[in-house]
Amino acid sequence: MEFNIAVIPGDGIGPEIVREAQKVLDQVGKKFGHTFHYTEVLMGGVSIDKTGVPLTEEALATAKASDAVLLGAVGGVVGKDSWYELPPNLRPEAGLLAIRKGLGLFANLRPAYLYKELKDACPLKEEIIGEDGFDMIIVRELTGGLYFGEHKTVNENGLETAYDELKYDESEIERIARKGFEIAMKRRKNVISVGKANVLDSSRLWNKVVARVAKEYPEVTLTEMLVDNCAMQLVKNPSQFDVILTENMFGDILSDEASMVTGSIGMLSSASLGEGKFGLYEPSHGAAPDIAGQNIANPIATILSAAMMLRYSCDLDQEADAVEAAVNKVLEEGFRTVDIMADGMDQVSCSEMGDLISKRI
């Protein structure tokens, strides 16, 4: 089969890690008889430098016309990169928000699980990790809430005053809830819905709508959890989580925490989906400008994101399995990038890691 993939290398380590994911995709193509056509799309700081804006209409249209989007990361350092002297709506991150919204990608799936080979990198105590480790997926709402409400800074009573609006309507909650339950049906049938219902109206509406949707999935156990408690439970008893269903901002925060308890944020993929097969695939981590250009970044999160792309947007389950198996194999054989390096292992660069994984497809 043939697929048109929009590739957004972005900033920082983005270009290095995306290159390795493409290497792996090309190997999948060779092995299984598919062709991936890539169109490079500008977004983030590089787009600001070339066009003055973080995402042009043309770039968005190119992404829209593709079968899927593969993204590295965007952003730089506040106080160092001149992009941050621009108004907030023209900074690199605004490109990311604009593409999510522009492509209707309301569901962000962020799996976080403990690789048995990387148990040593997990910062939690052995007795907390337990025998079986943990395996959860965060289903984060991605196009609503605080991120997309009205933002303004005004003068009130002589004081500079900032507003950020947090708004959800029931249709936005319903569609993400349905995604969460659908995913739970394919896993351990357990949804923990996270909010701040003891304080926020938006969380109370969230719970009401989620409970309504839950009736369509009688096999799935639904529990409500407050976000502060969830932050604690993630480090106290991570194996209780199967699907965490939550709104945009809480999902942003909890997914960083969940990824770190797995040992390395450099390992975790993500998929952002809308109603159909189309999706945007990116590592859960950021652009890491401090290590950019040194060929030491861990490309595995991006490679696993490409595997998610094969599964969700291309319907190529077997090929996705092959990529995931190749990653496991390389880890079993003891190869590590510096972020997950441990005693007795072989340290490899970003591009070497990509080569090793490709060769095992």
Question: Based on CB atoms, which residue is closest to ligand IPM, 117 or 252?
Answer: 252
Tell me the residue ranges of DSSP E strands in the chain. Answer: 2-10, 35-40, 68-73, 107-113, 135-141, 151-156, 159-164, 190-195, 221-226, 243-246, 271-273, 279-281, 335-336, 346-347
The catalytic position among 164, 201, 228, 315 is: 228
Q: How many residues are given for the chain?
A: 361
Name the catalytic one among 64, 189, 196, 329.
Answer: 196
By the rule CB under 6 A, 252 interacts with ligand IPM: yes
Q: Residue from 6, 7, 59, 96 that binds ligand IPM (CB under 6 A)?
A: 96
Tokens standing for 201? 């109206």
Q: Is 196 a catalytic residue?
A: yes
Query: Catalytic site residue 135?
Result: no
Please give the residues from 223 up to 282 whose contact with Mg ion meets the rule CB under 5 A: 252
Please count the other Cβ atoms lying within 10 Å of the Cβ belonging to residue 238.
24
**Minimum Å distance from CB 81 to ligand IPM?**
14
Instruction: Determine how β-strand 151-156 pairs with β-strand 159-164.
Output: antiparallel
11 touches Mg ion by CB under 5 A: no
Q: Which does 96 bind (CB under 5 to 8 A by kind): ligand IPM, Mg ion, none?
A: ligand IPM
Long-range contacts (CB closer than 8 Å, 24 or more residues apart) made by 256-260:
256/284, 257/231, 258/110, 258/112, 258/136, 258/138, 258/234, 259/110, 259/112, 259/284, 259/285, 260/123
Active-site annotation holds for 132: no
Q: For ligand IPM, give the closer residue by CB, 269 or 358.
A: 269
**Which of 209, 301 has the CB closer to ligand IPM?**
301
Site string for ligand IPM, 62-81 (x = CB under 6 A): -------------x------
Count of positions on this chain that bind ligand IPM (CB under 6 A):
4
**Chain centroid, CA 190 distance in Å:** 21
**Could you say whether residue 141 binds ligand IPM (CB under 6 A)?**
no
C-alpha span between 175 and 258 (Å, rounded): 23
Using CB under 6 A as the criterion, which residues of the chain lie in contact with ligand IPM when the complex forms? 75, 93, 96, 252
Active site residues: 147, 196, 228, 252, 256
